Structures are given as C-alpha cells and as structure tokens.
Chain A
C-alpha cells in the first residue's frame, strides 16, 4: 500500500487507485464531474485538479487531474494550494458561462451535482458579459425530459448510454462549444436503461419526465428502503412519496446487486400505485354482481364466517411477500395451499429450486457475473426478463479489454485508453435462443434454435465438456470457451416455459464442475418472489404441491378459497378458472389493482402495494431482501400480511392468532424451515435504534409540515407512528451509520445530489459502510443437481408453427404494464416472425395475422425479427391480448384481411400525457 501526502497529511492508499478516489476515500471533498465510479476516468471536465509536487523541496508544483493520476509511493499533492482552488473555481466559472437561469424550474434543483460543485469551489458572481449559447431540446419519449441548455459537456451521458449500457441512439454531435447530446432525430430512447441518465447526468439535461409532471424537491420526499418488484433480480430502490402519492423511484445502491443503475421498468414502472384502478375499500358481492363497500371489520367477520372450521384452500402469489404467502399457507394448511404459479411454471420452479439446492456451481450476484470471462446463455432474452442482469453482462464481455489493459499495465479506471486498446475485442458470449435477443450485439455467436433444441444443445455442450464429441461447431465452441475461462457463467431461466432448457444449463454447469472448473449458474425466474414462493412450497410436503388445475378439479368440495394478490387469468386456462368460480366455494381475494379474479370473487380486500407495506422477497440470486413502507396506505387498504393476520385472528387460528407484529411473522416463517432460518437477519428488527432513535424516512429539511394538512384542518395531526419497523415517518433521527438495509436516501452535507453516495460507501465503488443489504438464503448441498430429461423432437404439422414467448421489458410484467408511460412504450401485442414466414404469409411489419391455437383465434400485429429458429414464431408474453396463447403449442397463421394498420406514430410533444386509467405519478 503506497503512502501519499495530501497537504502534508500522510495517507495509506490502495495500489492502483487514482488520486481522486484516494481523496474521496479519505473523506476529502474534491469536486469532479466526468468521473463516475462505475465508468472510470476520462479527464475531460478538468474539475478534479490538484497540485502535485516533485519532492519535499518543490514548492511550485504543477496542476494535475486527480482522476487521471495514479497513486505512487511518496507522491505529494495539495488540495488546498491557492493555484489548485483557483483553477477549480475557474473551471466551474467557465462551465457556468452558458448555464441558463433555470434552477427554480429545473427537475434537478436541490439534488444537482453542478449546484453542489459550484458551491464547493466558491464560485458566485458571473463576470462574463457575453451571450449564452442555447440549444433546442428533443422529445426523447415518455420517460426522459431533455433540456440541453443546461449541459456542461462532461460526456457522462454518452459514456453511460453508449459505452456502458450499449445504447446506439444517443450521442455527442457537433464540436467546440456547439457540442450537443441527443438523438439524430427526435424519438423514443431505445435503451431499456435510459432512466439512469437522470442519475448519471450531473445537471438537469436529462430529468425524470413522469416525476417532473408532479414534481417535488428531493428534500420534500419521504423515502424508505425498498426492493423493486418488477422482476426477480431484486434491485434495491428508494421510492419517494409526497402528499400521499408515489412520486418517483431512485436507485438505492447495493454493491452486490444493482450497483448504481436500474432498468426503466424498475424506475418508471410504479405509476400504477397512484392509479384510479386501485381498490380503496373492501367489498362484498351483491346478488346482482356488483360490490358493496364494507368496513374492514365487517369484511373480516364475513370472511371468518366462511373460513372458520370449514374446508378452505389458498392460492398464493409469486408477486406477494414471503410473509403473506407463509401466513396464507399456515392459515389454510400446507396441503391446501397452491403456490399460484401456472402448472407449467410450477414444474419449472420445482426444477430450479432443486437445481439451486444441489448444484455444485455457484449462483452469482450481478457483481460476480460482471467478472465472468465466458458466458453461455440458454434460451433467455436477459434484457427483457432480468434487465439489470443484462446490463451486468454488457460489462462482463469487457473483461477481455481489462485483461489486455493489465498486460499493458493500464489501471482499470483508464476508460478511454482501455476502450481504444480493446476496440471490438470482447470476452466470448454465446447466446442460444429461439429468436433475436437484445444482447446479440455483444455476443460472439448467436444460435437460433427451438426450445427443445436449446435443451439438446445444453446437453451436447455438457457431453463435449465431459470428453465427448459433437458435430455442431457452436456446441464445440461453447464447450471450448467455457473450458478456457477462469470464471465461466451459464445463464438460463424460466422465460421459455421449458424445463429441459433449465436442465440443459444445469448439465453444462455440472459438467464444468466435474472438470474442476468453478462455474457460475444463474437461473432467471419470472417474478419478484417466484423463488421465495417456490422455496416455501418446496418443503414440508411429502407429496407434490397442489397445482391450480388440481385445485380446480376438487373445487366442488371446497367451502372457501382465499386468493392472495394473484390474477388467475395469467396463470390458468379459462376452463379451470370457471371450475373454481362456479364450484360453490366462497372466494376471498385481495389485490392491489382491479382485475377479473377480483371481479369473480365474493369478497375483495384492498391490498397495499409494495410502497405501502413491508415484506421479504427472494431474488433469483437466492437473496432475501426486505422492503419497507414508504408511506401509510390510504383509505382502508392494508398490507396482505395484516389482512392474513386479521383473518387468522378472527378464525381463532391456533398459532397465527398469537402473532401481532411483522417481526413475529418473520420469526415464525424463519422457524418453519431450515432454509429460512436467516430471514430474521435480513434487516434489523423494529426495536433497532440508531443513536437512540429510529431512522427517519424524511430528510432533515422536509418542508411544509405545519401546512400540508392545514387545508383539511388547522389542527395538526400527530406524525403517524410505524410500529412495525425501525424506520419513522418523521424527520427526527439520523440517517447515518445504519445497516445498509435501512438506508432510506443518501445525503451528506455539501453533497445534495446522489453523488453523496460515496459518503455512505466504505470505499469508492465498494460496499456500503452498513454492509450489503440482503441475505443469501440458499446454501447448496453441492451434491450435484443433474436431472436427466431427454427432450423429444416436436412433430410439426405443415403450416404450423411453434409458439415462443417473447418477453418485453415494457408490457410483459403484470403490474408495471398498468403505468401510463410503460403502457405507451409497450404498444400492441405482436407476433414475431422471420422474413421468410412473412413472405409466405404475404405480410409486412405492422400488418395483422390471425393466430389460431386450438379453438382460440387472436389477431396480432406482425413484427419482423432479424433471426428466428426454424418453425418458430414469437408472441409478446404477458400482454392481456395474448393471455390465451400457450408457449410451446402449435399454431397456424393466416393473414388478417380486416386488420387496420396503426397510423404512423406521430412524434408527441413534451406535454403529451397518457389518458389511460392508471395515471402515473399524479
């Protein structure tokens, strides 16, 4: 560890760091703009200047850029030398020459890195009397607002969007002081990660458009640590609330999981929480089919009269918390509990759980995946099924570049140099999928195969790894790159609805382990708590867990059925649902938004969303993470776990009626099976105190406390009390030094922007001072997880095609699809076909095709795909239009002659607002 001297102070620093990192690690405030911990240094903004001296005698020194200067033993620097401070102040002054007088009407104001740095260097008065440059803004879609005048040309946006996230449609244009960052023409940003521009941009060029519509300042937001429910990756988020509405979602740093970035579904997909389609009150169905609103207690009493001492079954949900599912399972008994997966998914989840429990390969976090130097993806379009993982994979293919850099002696933060050196050289990544994926552009080889053939491909690779032979070039190449790699990664998942693919991936990982290679095996699952739910039903039963179809068959014997946050339309076929509904059982269901399952129920209970309740979710990494309520649920909504406890209490359940607090539920759940034992360690319990106080959800400058409710009554209500967690609905307390799972927002004196995160990190780009949130609960037995299942070749009839589910980051996920902006981006459901099929059917992109599956006819818009496996067609999965289609079934396609093509999309204006029900961020 070299020792350096900054203003005479000796510092022990890590080898290979630059001075900027060293200063920040030492807690010094050195201003910067273009440097970003995840993106390295390019030395373009000239802001992190300090003076370097040759030796102890040298008193003049020379100005160097902190981010571009590596630490060397005995090097001497000065942060406070007059010429250094003057230089930094001059840089800010020159950056401000063209900066508009916008702060009061800027969505970045109050959390602006440029404001912070300007104050930090002490620049105040404008001396330049010339005119300010101006730019025209662009329409960049419903998510990002563009205000180019505010740009300070640090190039962070372009480096993030193109270099880091692999976007192609945003870049720098023109030269000198005309530089412009935007698209070649107005239009929707194509990257699934465009939302991070909001946090990457140090000023207000790119701001959160839905948030901007009903904007609140950062200091006015009440935030809580939360977990994204958009997919199974389990990104950490910090949603912010004001006046009872969820305003925005910001990234919450987790070193192992999402780091600094989120996907657009996670960032912008929560608008449904403010939707008018939310339920406010419990309702009992009247004979005419409409619902009568009733009070909580009345609803509970009614439900109890149907449940108590009766034969009751329960359907859980992969998007509800582990605790709520656990309580339902206890309430109805394990034998009567259906996980709530579709039958097919239940089978795949069983396989995945078995694999993860027994595989010798490790289940990596995103951080570990970023270290992979060879990747084999089987059947998964990761960008659309686990978006944040795909962003990680885009970094792992750069390991080749880092390897080259190491040979040249270049430190990894020398971003521009390393990109120049590596050019297009990447670590190998082979994608085997039915059709094009969003990672194809960085793959070394893409193979298009039908689902069964992907499974066969996996087994073939495993065989070659074990010393066998194959005729297939791609199989041999896959085996070769995995064998050659230090950290091979095999990635697959449930998105193709095909157990064989998962088994194929497991076979490859096990074959690698058999060769004494330490392999990483990551299996993507569909929903935020799919894995947690699968683990819950996996234990405690000797027989196979009940499925929805089996439950439907015996529905006539049931007295009541409790459905937890589950829309059965998405899980089951119409016949089974009809059986359940008409079987005579009283149906009690709770959910967040109105759906057809609720309408089929006899009693509906309004459930709180993730932002209003707390619970544990298990990510596909096997990481159990806790989310906390950002604000109190409005009207008579209750978190599902509280509904469950009240039901149990009213039914005088033996064990559950003794539980009162969330912590007790967690403890009971943890005691229910050995795998869950560590659930109590996921986050501090409700009696945790920091400096004798709870952690405040509100900032210390939370405004308007004595006026926000004065419109209703001038008599100020008491602050709501949170009896269930260690967080308070208050500004009292200290947001410092708490465990990582409790950090509601980041702020530090002088650092109002999200760059204050470095004050919470133990070291730059390292874990948080409070550790890493979440506990990995799956400990593999390491016995090997190979299950043999030889997939059969499908028999195809002429003019029939195999349906392949195509997942979309915007639109395929149930809840986020109810957000205006996401619905706008999702567009219409499509049928994806290859060019040849299109020619055969005589259709072009945008035309309609009638898809016939058995007795179901559905007209869908045509989308031409660039590569498609033989005899396969893709359909957009998870869209309400395509719920009747089943993955893997055979369909026939005919051109729809009545189809009306959508009129060419007009470029909307910045004022455009959606008109659908779920108005976002109102």
Chain B
C-alpha cells in the first residue's frame, strides 16, 4: 500500500520537472563531436585524400558494408580507386574509425540519413570525401610513413635518418 502511494507520488513529482525530450526536428538536440553518425572520409592538412586504401576498415566492419579498391598515384602513394559504404547496412559502430591508421575515416554527429529509396543509402567516395581534416587537424600519414612520395624523399619522414650510402666504409 505504502509503495503504491510512493509510486504515485514519484510520478506526480515528475510532472513538474523539465522534459528531457525536445521537439525534434524543430529543436535540434546537442550531439558531441564524438557521436557516431554518418561516416566521412577526410583530407590531410595538405588537402590530399587521407585514405591509403589499406582495407582495415573493411576488414573490421562487422556488417561488411565497406568495399574499396586500392590504386596507385604517379609517385607510388596509395589511394582508393573507389570507396563505397552501404549505409543501409551500416550500424554506426565506429570500428572502422578505430581501425583507421591514417584518421581518414571518421564518424560525424549527423544521423539524419533517411531515404525513400534504399539505393540512395549507398555512398561512393565522392559522397564520403569532405574538404577538411575532421577531428584530427594535424595528422598526415605520409609524413610518418617511410614511403617515398612526390614531396618527401627517403629519410625525410618523421624520426628518420638520411638514407644510408651502402658504398661508404664509415661506421
């Protein structure tokens, strides 16, 4: 008897508290930057595509909704020839972002992805690639990697010594 009264009292009390729900879509809720919504592909600080087509996002994806094919630029660097995410399968788990070694793939707070036609949920690279660095402003994978690029010679990457002259007798 007492507990029932208490329940009624508690419910009554909540009638006067501020509502947690908001009048979406008139009023937009706050979503933190680390919210896991629509996936984007970002660019490095130099404006180049960050994705190196390493395939780790595709490998880790639990619903296998990422497919891509590696291609090679003139200077030998890697990039995706195509990069496709089937958002009708995506569960926004963020494991691709965690696996990405170049900070290329990032999840954004945008979750409004409804479509009347499921085919429109298939995003190609042109839909995914944004003109920005996303959450990681400074990172450029090719400045760390030992691979030679058009703008970086061997030995010029982070923490690298100059290339060894194998014909030298010096220690």
Contact = CB atoms under 8 A, between A and B. Distances in A.
Given A104-B54, A703-B67, A713-B119, A174 B164 contact: yes
A132 B160 contact: yes
Interface in B107-166: 118-119, 121-122, 124, 141, 144-148, 154-155, 157, 159-164, 166
B157 A100 contact: yes
A708 B154 contact: no
Nearest to B58: A703
Contact of B161 (A134, A180, A713): A134
A135 B122 contact: no
Interface stretch (A210-218, A306-314, A489-497, A528-536): A210-218
Contact of B166 (A102, A174, A911): A174
Interface stretch (B16-24, B27-35, B82-90): B82-90
B84 A710 contact: yes
Contacts of B63: 706
Interface size class of B (residues with CB under 8 A): 35 or more
Given A217-B55, A711-B122, A714-B119, A135 B154 contact: yes
Interface in B4-63: 52-56, 58-59, 61, 63
Interface of A: 100-105, 109-110, 131-137, 147, 149-150, 173-174, 176, 178, 180, 212-217, 219-220, 242-243, 701-708, 710-711, 713-715, 910-911
Most B C-beta atoms less than 10 A away, residue of A215, A216, A713, A715: A215
Given A150-B146, A180-B166, A214-B81, 10 more contacts: A134-B154, A134-B162, A136-B163, A178-B164, A217-B59, A707-B89, A711-B124, A714-B119, A715-B118, A911-B75
A341 to B, nearest CB: 42
Given A101-B144, A215-B70, A131 B160 contact: yes
B163 A135 contact: yes
Given A174-B164, A706-B65, A910-B76, A711 B59 contact: no
Contact of A105 (B69, B84, B147, B163): B147
A100 B64 contact: no
B64 A707 contact: yes
A174 B170 CA distance: 10
6 contacts: A104-B78, A104-B102, A105-B78, A136-B154, A174-B164, A703-B59
Contacts of B64: 702-707
Q: Is the interface of A mostly helix, strand, loop or mixed?
A: loop
A705 B63 CA distance: 8
Given A105-B77, A136-B154, A704-B64, A216 B55 contact: yes
Contacts of A243: 69
Contacts of A105: 52, 54, 77-78, 145, 147
Contacts of B69: 214, 216, 242-243
Contacts of A714: 86, 88, 118-119, 121-122
A115 to B, nearest CB: 12
Nearest to B78: A105
Contact of B164 (A133, A213, A702): A133
Nearest to B54: A104
B85 A220 contact: no
A853 B164 CA distance: 56
Nearest to A242: B69
Given A109-B54, A131-B159, A214 B70 contact: yes
A196 B63 CA distance: 36
Contacts of A710: 65, 67, 84, 86, 122
Nearest to A705: B64
A104 B157 contact: no
Contacts of B168: 174, 178
Given A102-B145, A217-B59, A708 B161 contact: no
Contact of A706 (B59, B89, B147): B89
A134 B155 contact: yes
Contacts of A109: 54
Q: 8 closest Cβ contacts across the A-B interface?
A: A100-B146, A704-B67, A104-B54, A707-B67, A703-B58, A174-B166, A131-B161, A708-B67
Contacts of B105: none
B54 A703 contact: no
Contacts of A176: 171
B142 to A, nearest CB: 8
Most A C-beta atoms less than 10 A away, residue of B59, B88, B146, B159: B146
